[in-house]
Amino acid sequence: MFKKVLIANRGEIAVRIIRACRELGILTVAVYSEIDKEALHTQLADEAVCIGPASAKDSYLNITNILSACVLTGADAIHPGFGFLSENAKFAKMCKECNIKFIGPDYASIELMGNKAKAREVMKDANIPVVPGFEGIIESEEHASYIAEEIGYPVMIKASAGGGGKGIRIAFNEGELRRGYNTAKAEAKACFGDDRLYIEKYIQNPRHIEFQILADTYGNVIHLNERECSLQRKNQKVLEEAPSTFLTSDLRIEMGEIAKKAAKAVNYKNAGTIEFLVDKDCNYYFMEMNTRIQVEHPITEMITGIDIVKEQLKIASGLELELKQEDIKIKGHAIECRINAEDPDRDFMPCPGKITELYVPGGRGVRLDSAIYCGYKIPHCYDSMLAKLISFGKDREEAITIMKRALGEFGVGGVKTNVDFQFSLLEMDEVVRGAYDTSFLEKVMVKRNA
């Protein structure tokens, strides 16, 4: 096992990884930007190295400085968390060249799955059902219009390098397509420095259901069942639950096997997620693979009892998976609410600022993964997610009751948050019944703004 791990991230996920390392007896090195000097991850780690100014491109995305910090502190491995460099194949490759273990898959798998148009092609060749569409890259507005006609409207224009719901547009006709092509291209360029786009069929009112995979370096691949992530705003997850109310046990087994097959098709190693869209007739389609730890991994941990971050560390250090598929059982139900510093009354505008008062929920069935404390100043330059509140109950009804109780206890002073908004979601009939798809929350928003 590793002796010392550097965490190339910040916020709650950096804290989450430090905790797993500590439980395994591994020393930790935090890296931080100048504005994160007082951040929780900086304080919790055994050592901390400043890697540059606040702007992410100069610090958390600064490969040279991160690798230097690793060499300087003598860490054997780097955990990239999610976002930032976690899906950067060049970074994974440079780690390897510096003899530092990258806690994740080989750079070749990252590169392959990071190009979503290419990923579709590979999966199609491996007989994995993919969303109908065009495998190549769109070359021009004219080309886009031709391809959309071929596929048949409505279509979705997507950034090949996309992530975090960015660079996605829906088009129901040619006018929308031409506009969407140009705005998606500009957004992709700004967010990912890569403006390549592809087009696929827009699946109407689908569910987003994803499978957690664990794969070791000996060819063993298992799945830890699914997460239901259909409650989304602007193609970004807001609340997730596991298991999904939509899957029958037969469909769960079938999709789990397909997810494993998808991981094997790219010789995948470490933890990863296969995201599917599922239509109301239970047709499922591969959408993308995330080659990293996922934001919503805790709900899977709650229902399976498995620590996914520890599994990542064990796999990366060359240990064989001790878990077999038949060991994986679903027990109870878990829900995660993403708690963001944002103002739901002003179109969820991010609200950085100082936390002047804080009461955090606890008690039976409650888990809080966060990086905030009273007096903490939320910087303006990063993601607005402050915490993840997770509830666990013997069944779905109890998980909802516990989550509502916990949200009711959550008190954050000084900045606006979406805590009350999350509570209101759990009062909605469709959510209570588990009868929602990815279009549900957008419809709620339209009504709210009317």
Residue 292 a catalytic site member: yes
Question: Binder to ligand ADP among 112, 123, 131, 306 (CB under 6 A)?
Answer: 131
User: Cβ neighbours of residue 246 under 8 Å, at least 6 residues apart?
Assistant: 207, 209, 228, 278, 434
Query: Measured from the CB of residue 275, what is the shortest distance to Mg ion in angstroms?
Result: 5
Question: Binder to ligand ADP among 182, 235, 317, 401 (CB under 6 A)?
Answer: 235
To which residue do tokens 């929602």 refer? 436
Coil, helix or strand for 78? Answer: strand
To which residue do tokens 């602007």 refer? 234
Where does this chain touch ligand ADP (CB under 6 A) — which range of 104-112, 117-125, 195-203, 364-372?
A: 195-203
Question: Binder to ligand ADP among 76, 106, 228, 275 (CB under 6 A)?
Answer: 275
Residue 200 touches ligand ADP, criterion: CB under 6 A: yes
The alpha carbons of the chain give a radius of gyration, in whole angstroms, of 21
* Catalytic residue of the set 16, 207, 292, 338: 292
Please give the residues from 399 up to 418 whose contact with ligand ADP meets the rule CB under 6 A: none
Q: Which is nearer to ligand ADP, 300 or 304 (CB)?
A: 300
Where does this chain touch Mg ion (CB under 5 A) — which range of 63-71, 146-154, 242-250, 269-277?
A: 269-277
Q: Concatenated DSSP letters for 350-417?
A: E--EE--EEE---STTEEEEE---TT-EE-SSS--EEEEEEEEESSHHHHHHHHHHHHHH-EEESS--
Where does this chain touch ligand ADP (CB under 6 A) — which range of 93-101, 157-165, 261-269, 315-323?
A: 157-165
Q: Which is nearer to Mg ion, 122 or 426 (CB)?
A: 122
Where does this chain touch Mg ion (CB under 5 A) — which range of 96-104, 135-143, 268-276, 298-306?
A: 268-276
User: How many angstroms separate the CA atoms of 99 and 114, rounded?
Assistant: 23
Picking from 183, 186, 198, the residue whose alpha carbon sits closest to that of residue 147 is 198
- For residue 86, give the H/E element and its range: none
Picking from 361, 412, 319, 179, the residue whose alpha carbon sits closest to that of residue 311 is 319
Query: Do β-strands 4-7 and 27-33 pair in parallel, antiparallel, or remain unpaired?
Result: parallel
Residue 163 touches ligand ADP, criterion: CB under 6 A: yes
Picking from 122, 375, 425, the residue whose alpha carbon sits closest to that of residue 264 is 122
Query: Measured from the CB of residue 123, what is the shortest distance to ligand ADP in angstroms?
Result: 13
Residue 294 touches ligand ADP, criterion: CB under 6 A: yes
Query: Measured from the CB of residue 62, what is the shortest distance to ligand ADP in angstroms?
Result: 15
Q: Is the peptide bond before 53 cis (omega within 30 degrees of 0)?
A: no
Residue 239 touches ligand ADP, criterion: CB under 6 A: no
Coil, helix or strand for 9? Answer: coil
Residue 438 touches ligand ADP, criterion: CB under 6 A: yes
Residue 63 DSSP one-character state: H
Query: Measured from the CB of residue 391, what is the shortest distance to ligand ADP in angstroms?
Result: 18
Size of site (CB under 5 A) for Mg ion: 1
Residues that bind ligand ADP (CB under 6 A): 82-83, 87, 131, 156, 158, 162-165, 168, 192, 200-203, 206, 208, 232, 235-237, 275, 277, 287-288, 290, 294-296, 383, 438
Which are the catalytic amino acids?
Answer: 292
